[in-house]
Amino acid sequence: MVAKKRSSMGSLNQQAVDQTNQQLSAKEIEVLTRTSLDWTKLKPKTADTALYDQLIKEVKESTEKNENLAQLRSRLESLGKEGLSLAKEVISLIP
């Protein structure tokens, strides 16, 4: 288990770390270059979420209108006589 609070021996240890980094600097650069990846090139070039949200909102509104229209008949039927007279009223509005 690694100690939570480092000893003052840490500054001495840092010398060992620095020396190792210096000895292996060329090798480390080679490893880092070989194992690096420009992730931005893999990022999908798709439209902004804002544009999607806007279009989705418009489609949703249109869908809701269709759903209401599709339910019109059953709603009118469930209204019984009142529904029938309402339907007649709507039809009479058509010139």
Partner 1 sequence: MLQYKNLKLLAFVIIFSQCASVPQSVVDLSSQVGDDIISIQSSYAQLVDAYYERLIDDRLDYLDNEWYPAYVKNWMRIGRLQEIAKGDIVWSEDDEKFTEVTEETPSMETINTLQIWVEEALWTYQEKKEELINPLITDRDTLKYSINVAFNNLTKANAEITAHLNSLRKVKEQQDQLLEELKLKRIRDQINEALIDASAKAGKGLEKVREADAKLEEINK
Sites of contact with partner 1 (CB under 8 A)? 2-3, 6-13, 15-17, 19-20, 23-24, 27-28, 31-32, 34-37, 39, 42-44, 46-47, 49, 52, 55-56, 59-60, 62-63, 66-67, 69-70, 72-73, 90-92, 94
Question: Residue 69 corresponds to which tokens in the numbers above?
Answer: 């229209």
Rounded to whole angstroms, the Cα distance separating 70 from 74 reads 8
Q: Is 8 helix (H, G, I), strand (E, B) or coil?
A: coil
Beta carbons of 84 and 76 less than 8 angstroms apart: yes
- Residue 9 CB, shortest distance to partner 1, in Å, is 5
Q: Name which of 56 and 79 has its Cβ closer to partner 1.
A: 56
Rounded to whole angstroms, the Cα distance separating 53 from 61 reads 12
Q: Name which of 82 and 90 has its Cβ closer to partner 1.
A: 90
